[in-house]
Amino acid sequence: MILSLLLSTFITIFIAELGDKTQLATLTMSGSSDKPLAVFLGSSTALILASLVGALAGGSISNFVPEIILKSIASLTFLILGLRLFIISLNSNENDNKE
């Protein structure tokens, strides 16, 4: 049970992190320095600490708020962000076409 949770969490986070702004920032910093190992260690530590905060906060919040409400809030947040990005993209394309 724990192994399947560990594996599904790893796969989900690994896929979610590919190409995100954290990876792009790490790529940029590594490319502009001659110390890629230091950039790797710094970005890895930051990601681990951010994940720790998320896991601890999620565990604490789940003691007070039912899981279905937490999942609903997360789903609505992602939906709103996705729609907002989609609308911004459409507006950007319209502005590009006008020029």
Q: How many CB atoms lie within 10 A of CB 53?
A: 10
What is the model's pLDDT at position 49?
Answer: 92
What is the model's pLDDT at position 82?
Answer: 86
Residue 3: strand, helix, or coil: helix
What is the model's pLDDT at position 59?
Answer: 77
DSSP per-residue codes, 40-97: HHHHHHHHHHHHHHHHHHHHHHTTTS-HHHHHHHHHHHHHHHHHHHHHHHHHHHHHHH
Separation of alpha carbons 93 and 99, rounded Å: 10
Query: What end-to-end distance do the CA atoms of the chain give, in Å?
Result: 56
Q: What is the tens place of the pLDDT at every residue in 50-96?
A: 889 888 887 788 888 888 998 899 899 989 988 998 898 888 767 76
Position 22 pLDDT exceeds 90 = no
What is the model's pLDDT at position 20?
Answer: 75
